[in-house]
Chain A
Amino acid sequence: MDKTMPNDMSLEALIAGDRAEFARLVDEYSSPIYRLGLRMLGNPQDAEDVLQNTFLNALTHIQNFEGRSSLATWLYRIAVNEALMLIRKKKPEVNLEDVEAEDDTDDLRPTQIVDWSALPEEELLSEEGKKALDAAVAQLPESLRIVFLLRDVEGLSIKETAEALNLTETNVKTRLLRARMVLREQLSAYYSERLPARSEK
């Protein structure tokens, strides 16, 4: 996703309440925000609620946009809050603050040491492979998943992710490392079964 203001869009027009310009903003950012909702909530209906609430909220508050972050980061922050609100409503038991800024990497020590990285693309991205990947992402705890989605899937920088989530950059980095390690373990377990016997270590 383009993280700066799209070239031919006017922030002034948006702030002044230009509807046509807002419609263009919606088309520019609705896909990534819907995708984020899908991956955070896990179903299309909730993702659509997140999408609609994000832009309703943006429409109401765009005149207060101060440009301290990029417009994309601002929209993501709204979307993340909408997604988290919905998660809290549906699953009050979920603890979104469950990862403190811990440097302890003890529990991250890799157990799956199998090099599957050279498996051909068609094997890695087979229908079944993609399902395994989606399932692994879906199983991440919310507090890690949101960081991972913004940084590694949507391509926000560490700084932008921190701004969107109201976290420190250190905290984003800690969560990102955890998310990546957990995913790597899961995918290693899955792909190692698909390696030809001779490459196994």
Chain B
Amino acid sequence: MTDHPHTTCEELLGSLSAYIDGDLDPQLCQELEKHLAECDNCRIVLNTTKRTIDLVQTPLEKPDLPEDVRERLFKRLNLDHYLTPKPK
């Protein structure tokens, strides 16, 4: 990685994750946004990376614990006595 005055695609790549997480130094952020405004490819990489993260966070991907697994867990922990219907 080099010290060009302007953000290059490679520099953007290195900072992409931090940028998405809002974890980037404001000045770097500004430079990066300037680059993004001019670079279609980087904008696509940013958008699709964000979307990838959104997709894995969707609640559809988070099944609850199956009831039989919960029962066996409580028994294993000798907590059968507290095995009441799961509060929701």
Which residues on A are within 8 Å of B, measured CB to CB?
A: 19-20, 22-23, 26-27, 30-31, 34-35, 44, 48, 51-52, 55-56, 59, 103, 105, 108-110, 113-117, 124-125, 130, 133-134, 137, 148, 152-153, 155, 158, 173, 176-177, 180-181, 183-184, 187-188, 201
Given the known A-B contacts A30-B73, A113-B41, are A180 and B13 also in contact in the complex, defined by CB atoms under 8 Å? Answer: no
Q: Are B44 and A114 in contact (CB under 8 A)?
A: yes
Residue B52 lies at the interface, judged by CB distance under 8 Å to chain A: yes
Chain A, Cβ-Cβ closest to B70? A30
Residue B37 lies at the interface, judged by CB distance under 8 Å to chain A: no
- Cβ-neighbour of A153 out of B10, B40, B51, B61 (below 8 A): B61
- Cβ-neighbour of B69 out of A51, A109, A113 (below 8 A): A51
* Interface size class of chain B, counting residues whose CB lies under 8 Å from the partner chain: 35 or more
Interface string of B32-54 (1 = CB under 8 A from A): 00000000110111011111110
Interchain Cβ contacts within 8 Å, total number? 122
Residue B30 lies at the interface, judged by CB distance under 8 Å to chain A: no
- Cβ-neighbour of B77 out of A56, A113, A184 (below 8 A): A56
Q: How far is the CB of A97 from chain B (nearest CB, A)?
A: 21
- Cβ-neighbour of B53 out of A23, A56, A180 (below 8 A): A180
Q: Specify the main secondary structure of chain A where it touches its partner.
A: helix
A residues within 8 A CB of B56? 133, 137, 148, 152-153, 183
Q: Are B45 and A110 in contact (CB under 8 A)?
A: yes
A22 to B18, CA, bound (A): 37
B residues within 8 A CB of A137? 56
